[in-house]
Structure 1
Amino acid sequence: MGIMGFLRNRAGVIIVVAIGIAIVAFLLSDAIRSGQGFIADSQSEVGKVAGEAISYKDFNEKVEQNSQQFKAQMGSLNGQMMSYVVENTWNQTVSGIILKQQTAKLGLTVGQAELFDLLFDNPSDQVKQIFTNQQTGQFDRATAINSRKSADTDPSGQMKAQWVALEDNVQQQRINEKYINLVKNGVYVNSLDAKDDYTNRNKLVNFDYVFTDYGAVPDAEVKITDTDYKDYYEKNKYKFKNATETRSFEYVAFDAAPSKQDTLDTKMKMSKITDGLRTSTNDSLFVAINADTKAPLVYQKKGQLEPALDSVMFSAGNGFIYGPYFSNGAYKVAKLIDARVSPDSVKARHILLNPATEGGADKALAKADSLKKLIQGGADFAKLAAQYGTDGSKDKGGDLGTFGRGAMIPQFEDAVFNGSTGQLMIVSTQFGVHLINIQSQIGSSKVVKVAIVDKALAPSSSTEQVAYQKAQSFLSTVSNATQFNENAQKEKLNKLVGEDVGPLQSSLPGLEDARNLIRWVYKTDEGKVSDEIFDIGDKYIVAVLTKVKPEGTLSLEDVKKQIEPEVKKAVQAKVLKEKFEKATAGASSLTQIAQKLGTSVVPVENVVFANPVIPGVAQENKVIGSIFGSQPNKLSKIVEGDRGVYVYTVKSFTNPPALSNVLKVKEQLEQSISQQVDAAVFEVLRKKANIKDDRAKFY
C-alpha cells in the first residue's frame, strides 16, 4: 500500500522525469554511439586473463550450457548451485585461455591425420558422447563420418559451425594433453632422492623429552603488546595475501517466521482437510485441489514413503487416516487408498501413437485398437512397432526393457503393474496413445497407494507485514555505521556479522540465498547503511558495510583479530622459554630439568621423520626435524614447537636395511609427483597470469 500511494502521489513528477530522460537519451544517442565501442566492451566483459578479454555473451552461453547439464542431473538450481556453476565455468574458461596461450608459445599442434584419428578411429570422450549408439552402447563411426560430410553441404551453416567448434575443442584438448605430458616427462627422481625418501620413511628414533603446553601459562602472565603483533606480522607477512578483495558487514535480521497464530490457522485448515479427505470419494481430485504439493497417486514399496507413514501404512486397512502430522516444514494428512501385492519389475513393449498426426485422440485410439486386433490375429508386434511407433523404442521393436516402479508415468505404470503377463492393453497418457504388451512380471511385494495432502507452515501476510514494518522503522532511523550500532543496541537487536565475504559468494550461515545482499555490499562504500531492506528466506535484513580488505598483502590492522591466537602463543612461548632457561641452567639431564619444572620425562620410541607426530601430543614438524638433526645422548637446546616448549635427548637411531631396489622407489616417487602435475601446473600458470575478475557485476 505504501508503494502504491507513493506512486499515486508523485505520478505527475515521475511522468515528467521519464519524458525528460527519454528526450535527453534521444538527443545524446548519436554522441554516445560514437564512443559506445569502448564503453560497451568494458561493460560487457566478465574479466580478462593474460590480456585476453572474456565477453559476457560468450561466458554466459557457457554458463547456460553448464546449467542445463547440472539441471539434468539435479532437477533444479538454487542460488548456491548456480554460484557453483558460474565458478566452475570461470575456472574452465581461465584454464582454457592460459593453456591455449602456453601451448601456442611452444608451437604444439594437432595434424590432420591425428585429428581424423581423434574424431573417428580413436574418438575423444566428447565425440563418443555425441555419436554413441543408444541401443548398442558402442561408438557409431559411420554416423559420425556421415554427419561430418553433411556439415559441408548444410545450407544453414549451423551443422558446419557445430563441427568446427567440436574439432576446435578436440584439438585443444589434445594439445593440452601434450603440454601436460611434456611437463610430466620432465619429472625426474634421482637415486639420492629415492634413498632420502626411503630413509625418511624407515629410519627410527628413540628419544626422551620434557614438555610444557602453551595453555599452561595463566592468562594473567600473557600481556600482548603492539610490538608483539608487529613482530609476528612482519615475520609472517607472506601469509596475509588476499587473493581477491573481501568485505565484512554487520546486519540485523527481523524475523518473519510463522507466528503462533499462523500455526494455529494452519492446524485449523488441516483439521477441515482431514475431515474432507476421510469422506472423499475422489482422492486424486481432492489432493489436486487441496495439497500444496501436487503429486500423482502411485503405488509405492516399503521404504519409499517417509518414515512416519512407512511404519503404519503397510499394516493398516484401506481408508485409514494418519495425521495431521508435521514434517519438513508442512502439516500433512495421509489416507491409505489401496494395498496389494504387485510385481517388483516389469518387462514390456509398446507402440506409441501421436494423436496430433493421427487426426485426433479418437482416431489414434481407433488405430491402436486395429493394431491390437492384428497382433491378436498373429501379426508381429516388433514389425508393427517399427512401422507405426513414434518414439525411440520403435527401432527396438517397441522394447522398453525391464523397469521398476517410478520409471514410467502413473497411467502407464498402473497398467503394466496391475495387468497380467501377455496382456495387450491400450492406455492414453500425455505422450499419446500406447498399445502395450506385458512380456513378463518379475518378483512380488506389497505396495500401497497413499493420498497425501500437505499445507506448508508459512507466515501470513500480516506476520510478514509486522516484520517488514519493524525493519523499515529501524532503517528510517539510521544513516551511518555509528547510528546503526547505537540504535541496534538501544532496540536490543542481535547484530550478526558477514565476515570476509567474497564478491561471488551466494550464502552466509543462516542466510542461504544472500546474493542480492552481497551484490549490494560490493557496490557501496565503507560505513554506508543499506538503502533497501533485503528479503532473504523468512527474514528482512538491514546491513552496514564495516570493512573492505583489498586484494594483495593485508595490513596489520586487517589481520590483527585473525592473528591474535598465534601472537598469544608467541607471548606464551616467551614466558615458557624463560622458565625453561632457568630450569636448564646448570642441569645435565632431563630428569633435573623436569624436577625444576614440576613435570616428568616422557619416553618415545620408533618415530620416523616422514610422520612427525609426538604420540599423545600433536604433529610437531619443527621438533621432530630438530631431533633427526641431533646427536645421541646430548641435551638439546630449547625448542618452541606448535603445541608447547620442548627439551629432549636422543637415545638412539635405528637405520633401516640398505635399499635393495632403488629403481622401484624412484618409479613410485615419479608416479606420485606426476599425479600432482596437472593441478600444480595450472596453479603456477594461474599465479603468473594477470587475471581480472569482474563476474560480480553480472552474477
Structure 2
Amino acid sequence: MGLMTFLRNRAGYILIGAIGFAIVAFLVGDAVNVGKPFWAESQKVVGSIDGEDISIDTFGPKVDQSLAQFKQQYGGSGNAQMQAMAVDNVWNGEIATVLLGKEYSRLGLTVSGDELFDLLQGSNPSPLIVQYFGNPQTGQVNRAEVIASLKQQAKNPQLKQQWDMLQAEIEKQALQQKYTNLVRNSVYVTTLEANDEYINRNKLANFKYVALDYAGIPDASVKLTESDYSDYYNANKARFESPAETRSFEYVTFSVNPTKDDSVAVRTQVEKLAADFKTAANDSLFAALNSDVKVPYTYITKGKLDPALDSVVFNLPAGSYYGPKFSGNSYKLVKVVDTRFSPDSVKASHILIDPAKLGGVDKAIKLADSLKGLIQGGANFATLAKQYSVDGSKDKGGDLGTFSRGQMVPEFENAAFNGKPGDLKVVTSQFGVHLIKVEKQVGNSKVAKLAYIEKNLSPSNKTKDAAYKKASGFLAEVKENNFSELAQKKGYTVGVADKVTSSQGFAPGLDNPRQLIRDAYAADKGDILKEIYQMDNAFVVARVTGVNPKGTLPLEAVKKEIEPLVRNAVKAKLLTEKANAAVTGAGNIDQVAQKLGKPVNPVQNIVFANPIIPGGGQENKLVGSVFGSQPAKVSKPVDGERGVYVFSVDNFINPAPLANTYKQKEAMMQAIAQRSLGSAFQALQDKAKIKDNRVKFY
C-alpha cells in the first residue's frame, strides 16, 4: 500500500519526468542514429557573424587553399605566421561575405541577367574574363572563345563547375563595385573645405621657440601617484580602445641549443660521413639518404648555394669533392658530378596529357608521339594544345612564357634546357606526359650538377632532456604569485608578450607559440599554464598576466604601458610652472630664453599639414598653437611630445589665392572616398555581433 500511495501522490511529477526523458531520448537517439549528436554542431562553429554560424567544415578547406596560395607566393613549407595569415585572410573574407551580402540586400543591389551576360560575353567584360580569355599583349577578349567554352559545359562537368565558380566570383565583384560606387558617390567636398586644405598645405609660418625638454628632469626624481595615472587615463580614454580581445603572458625559456659536447659529436659523425661520401658508388642516392636538406639532383646556376660554398664549388672541375664546410648552423659536403654551359632561361610551350584519362602512361606517350608527328607535319601547336592539353596554359596555346632553372620539375627542366630552339620533346613527370616545344633560349652561363649533403648542428637527446628537466622543475615549483621572483632567484630571464590576439601567429621571443596562445585563451588571469611548450630551440613555461576584453581597456591593463607618458605629463606640469614664471613680464622671446637659460631656436617655412620641427620631431600641439597665434606676441607655455615650449611668431606667408577649386576638390574626394569605403565596412562590423571561436581550432 505504501508504494501505491506514493505513486498516486507523485503521478504528475513522474508523468512529466517520463515525457521529458522520452523527448531527450528521442533527440539523442535520432542524433546518434545519424552519427551527429545535437551538441556536435556547436563544437564545429568557428565563429558567428551577425547570427550566421561559420562551420569548420567549410572554413577549414578555405584556410588550406589560402595557405597553399601563401606558400606559392612566399615559398617555404608554411610556418605559424603564414598559417595565421591564412586563417585571418579567410575569416575577414567570411565577415565581408556575410555583412556585405546583407547590406547589398538591404540596399537592393543586384546583378541582373543582362548585366551578367554583358560581363561574361558582352562589350563590357569582367576583369576576370579579361584575365582568362584576354590577349596578354592587347587585352582584347576573344569573345568566340568565351562562347565556345560556355557551350562545352553541357559535355564537361568539370568545366561547368569551373564556370559556376567563375560566374559567382564575377557577380560578387560586380556587387562590390556597385557598393563601392554608391559609397564613393556619397562623398562631397565643399569649397570652404577645399580652401582650408589648400591653406593648410601652403601657408608658411616662421617663428622662434624656447624648449624645456622632459629629459632635463631625471625620471627617478618624479614620483607618480594613482591620481597621476587616473588623470592621464581619463583624459586619453579614446586611446585605449581594443578592437579585439587580447591576452598577455610572461614566460621563461629553457634553451636546447647544442652544447660543446654536441658539436664534437656532430663533427665526428660528419667526418665519417665525408669519408663514406668520397667512395660512394651512387653519389645522388647517398646524398639523398644522408642530407638533412634535400637539394634536387639537377643542374643549378651560380648564386643558389650558400655563399661560403658558391664561389668555391663553381670553380671546381667535374669529379671534385669539397667539404665538410661549416657555415650557418650546418656542415656542407659537395661532389661536383658535372659542369656545362647552359641557357639562362627558356621560352617554351607544352601539351599536358593526363594518363588516367587514357588508360595508362603508355597510351598517353603514344598520343604525345602522334601529336608530335602532326606538328612536324605542319599542324598548329597552339590549336592542338587547346584541344588536347589538360593544363591551364591550353587557353594560351600551351604557352608557358619564359622561365629560369628551378621553376619546373626536373624532367621538364632538363628537356627544355638541354634541347635547342625548335625541338619537340616528349617527357613524363609527376603531372603527366608533356609534349614540349622549345621556342627560344636566352643567355649562356656555367651550371653544375651536384651531389649535396647538409647536416645540421642539432642538440643531442641528452641536451634536450636536461632542458626539459629544468622546465619541469620550474613548472612544479612555481606559483601564481611568484613567477617572476622564482625565475629571478634561479637566474632565468622572464619574457613578456603583451596584447596577443587569439589568431596571432607570433609572439616576442617565441618561434612557434600557437598552442601556448590557444591555452592562454582557455585560462584566467594569473593562471600558470600546465603544459611545457616546445619551440624550435627551447622549452617554455608561461603564466597568463592579463585578460583584456574587447572595448575600452581598464586602467590596470594599460598602467605599465602608459607609465612613461604619465611621467612626462607630470614633468610637463613642473616645466609649465617654470615657463609661466619666465613668460611673466617678458616683452619678447629673447627675454624668456634669458630667464630660462635656454637658447632661442628659429624655425622657417613650417606648414600646418606637416607639423615637423627640424631636429625636434612631430609636435602637433606646438604647430597648431603657432597657426592660431598673432605675430610678435610671446605665447603661453605649450606642453608637447618632447617638452614644454614658449614661442613667438615672426610672420606668416600666405599662398596665392586658389583660383579654381575643382582640382583641389577632386583630389580631396579621391582621398576621402578611399577612406570612406574602409570606414563604411568598419561601421558594419561595429554594428554587427561577431563571435570569434577560431582559437579553438587553430
> Is TM-score (shorter-chain normalized) higher than 0.5?
yes
Q: Distance in 2 between matches of 1:33 and 1:129?
A: 53
Alpha carbons of structure 1 residues 625 and 412: separation in structure 2 relative to 1, 3 Å: closer
Q: Which residue of 2 aligns with 1:87?
A: 88
Match of 1:231 in 2: 231
- 1:242 is aligned to 2:242: yes
Give the counterpart letter for 2:325 in structure 1: Y
Q: d(CA) in 2 for partners of 1:432 and 1:62?
A: 27
Q: Please report how far the alpha carbon of residue 522 of structure 1 lies from its aligned counterpart in structure 2 after TM superposition.
A: 0.8
More deviation in 176-185 or 340-349? Answer: 340-349
How many percent identity over aligned positions? 49
The one-character-per-residue Cα deviations of 1:551-605 (angstroms, maximum 9, x if unpaired) are 2222222211111111111111111111112212222222221111111222222
Partner of 2:107: 106
Instruction: Flag the 1:420–1:282 CA change in 2: closer, same or farther, 3 A.
Output: farther
The 3 A distance-change label for structure 1 pair 57 and 154 is: farther
2:202 maps to which residue? 202
The range that moved more, 400-409 or 547-556, is 400-409
Does the CA-based 8 Å contact 2:28-2:38 persist in structure 1? Answer: no
Distance 2:418 2:162 in 1: 47
Indicate the residue corresponding to 1:343 in structure 2.
Answer: 343
User: C-alpha separation between the residues in 2 aligned to 1:362 and 1:689?
Assistant: 59
How far residue 358 of structure 1 moved from its aligned partner, in angstroms, is 8.6
Distance (whole Å) between structure 2 residues aligned to residue 195 and residue 176 of structure 1: 33
CA distance in 2, matches of 1:648, 1:400: 67
Q: Contact (CA 8 Å) 2:87, 2:503: kept in 1 or not?
A: no
Matched, 1:693 2:695: no
| 2-structure distance, mates of 1:365, 1:53 | 50
Does residue 683 in structure 1 map to residue 682 in structure 2? yes
Distance 1:397 1:663 in 2: 49
Per the alignment, residue 615 of structure 2 pairs with 616
Q: What is the CA distance between 1:607 and its match in structure 2?
A: 1.7
Could you say which residue in structure 2 is the equivalent of 1:525? Answer: 524
Aligned to 2:644: 645
Distance 1:616 1:436, change over 3 A: closer
1:539 aligns with 2:538: yes
Query: Which SS does the other structure have where 1:586 is aligned?
Result: coil
Corresponding residue SS for 2:314:
helix
Aligned ranges 1:354-393 → 2 under 5 Å: 379-380=377-378, 386=384
For the residue of structure 1 that corresponds to 2:210, the secondary structure is strand
Kindly tell me: are residues 34 and 129 of structure 1, through their superposed partners in 2, closer, same or farther at Cα, counting changes over 3 Å? farther
Larger mean CA deviation between 419-428 and 495-504 belongs to 419-428
Separation in 2, partners of 1:191, 1:437: 63
Q: CA deviation at 1:494?
A: 2.2
Q: What whole-Å deviation, never above 9, does each CA across 1:156-191 have from its counterpart, x for those lacking one?
A: 8x8777656654443343223222212211211222
Aligned-pair CA distance for 1:547 = 2.1
CA gap 1:462/1:354 in 2 versus in 1, 3 angstroms? same
Cα contact 1:632–1:650 (8 A) shared by 2: yes
Cα contact 1:481–1:546 (8 A) shared by 2: no
Alignment of 1:278-677 (within 5 A): 278-346=278-346, 379-380=377-378, 386=384, 403-415=403-415, 417-418=417-418, 441-478=441-478, 480-482=479-481, 484-485=483-484, 487-677=486-676
Q: What is the one-letter code of the residue matched to 1:125?
A: P
**Quick check: 2:208–2:601 contact (8 Å CA) kept in 1?**
yes
Per-residue CA deviations over 1:647-692 (Å, capped at 9, x if unaligned) read 1222222222222222222222222222323222212222222222
Partner in structure 2 of residue 123 of structure 1: 125
Is 1:183 paired with 2:183? yes
CA contact (8 A) 1:381 1:397 kept: no
CA drift of 1:238 comes to 2.0
Q: Which runs of 5+ in 2 are unaligned?
A: 1-22
Measured in 2, the distance between the counterparts of 1:120 and 1:293 equals 50
Shift, 1:113, TM fit: 0.8
Residues 341 and 446 in structure 1, CA contact (< 8 A), matched pair in contact too: yes
Give me the whole-angstrom Cα distance separating, in 2, the residues matched to 1:352 and 1:148.
22
1:627/1:150 CA distance change after superposition, 3 Å: same
Query: Secondary structure in 1 aligned to 2:633?
Result: coil
Query: Matches of residues 257-276 of structure 1 in structure 2 within 5 Å?
Result: 257-276=257-276
Q: 1:363 to 1:186 in 2, by over 3 A?
A: closer
Contact kept, 8 Å, 1:217 with 1:576, in 2: the verdict is no
In the alignment, residue 94 of structure 2 is paired with which amino acid? T
Deviation, structure 1 residue 406:
3.0
Match for residue 11 of structure 1?
A: none
Secondary structure of 1:251 counterpart: strand
CA 1:380–1:60 in 2, change beyond 3 Å: closer, same or farther?
A: same
Identify which range, 75-84 or 125-134, moves more after superposition. 125-134
Query: 2-side partners of 1:394 and 1:187: how far apart?
Result: 45
Q: 1:140 to 1:63 in 2, by over 3 A?
A: farther
RMSD: 3.7
Aligned position for 1:22: none
Distance 1:491 1:55, change over 3 A: same
Output the CA distance in 2 between the equivalents of 1:170 and 1:321: 57
Aligned pair in 2 of structure 1 residues 30, 506: CA closer, same or farther (>3 Å)? farther
State the alpha-carbon separation in 2 of the partners of residues 186 and 589 from structure 1.
Answer: 50
Given residue 587 of structure 1, which amino acid in structure 2 is its aligned partner?
A: A
Q: Summarize deviations over 1:445-491 as a string: whole Å, max 9, x none.
A: 2222222111122222232222222222332334x313544543443
Contact 1:527 1:545 in 2 (8 A): yes
CA contact (8 A) 2:191 2:665 kept: yes
Q: Is the 8 A contact 1:252 1:493 kept in 2?
A: yes
Structure 2 counterpart SS, 1:176? helix
What amino acid is aligned across from residue 245 of structure 2 in structure 1? E
For residue 540 of structure 2, give the secondary structure of its aligned residue in structure 1. strand
Deviations along 1:245-302, one digit per CA (max 9) or x if unpaired, are: 2222222222222222222222112112222233334322221232223333222233
Q: Distance in 1 between matches of 2:213 and 2:159?
A: 70
After superposition, give the CA deviation of every residue in 1:312-346 in whole Å (9 maximum; x if it has no partner). Answer: 12322333322212234321111222222333345
Shift in CA distance, 390/502, structure 1 to aligned 2, threshold 3 Å: closer
Deviates more, 1:481-490 or 1:35-44: 35-44
Q: Quick one: distance in 2 between partners of 1:667 and 1:476?
A: 66
| Cα 1:175–1:283 shift into 2, 3 Å | same
Work out the number of aligned pairs and report it.
668
Distance 1:456 1:247, change over 3 A: same
Gaps of 5+ in 1: 1-26
In structure 2, what is the Cα distance between the partners aligned to 1:159 and 1:341? Answer: 43
State the shift of 1:30 in Å. Answer: 4.9
Give the 3-state SS of the residue equivalent to 1:516 in structure 2: helix
Residue number in structure 2 paired with 1:44: 44
Shift of 1:110: 2.0
Q: Is the 8 A contact 1:299 1:449 kept in 2?
A: yes
Q: Residues 161 and 368 of structure 1: is their aligned pair in 2 closer, same or farther, counting only changes over 3 Å? A: closer
1:7 is aligned to: none
Q: Determine the structure 1 residue equivalent to 2:13.
A: none
What letter corresponds to residue 252 of structure 2 in structure 1?
Answer: V
Q: How far did 1:437 drift?
A: 7.1
3-state SS of paired residue (2:60) = helix
Give the Cα–Cα distance (whole angstroms) in 1 for the partners of residues 663 and 137 of structure 2.
45
Are the equivalent residues in 1 in contact too, given 2:355–2:433 (CA < 8 A)?
Answer: yes
SS of residue paired to 2:318: coil
**Helix, strand or coil at the partner of 2:667:** helix
Distance 1:436 1:165 in 2: 30
Shift of residue 530 of structure 1? Answer: 2.1
Distance 1:314 1:171, change over 3 A: closer
Q: Which whole-Å CA distance do the structure 2 matches of 1:96 and 1:473 have between them? A: 50
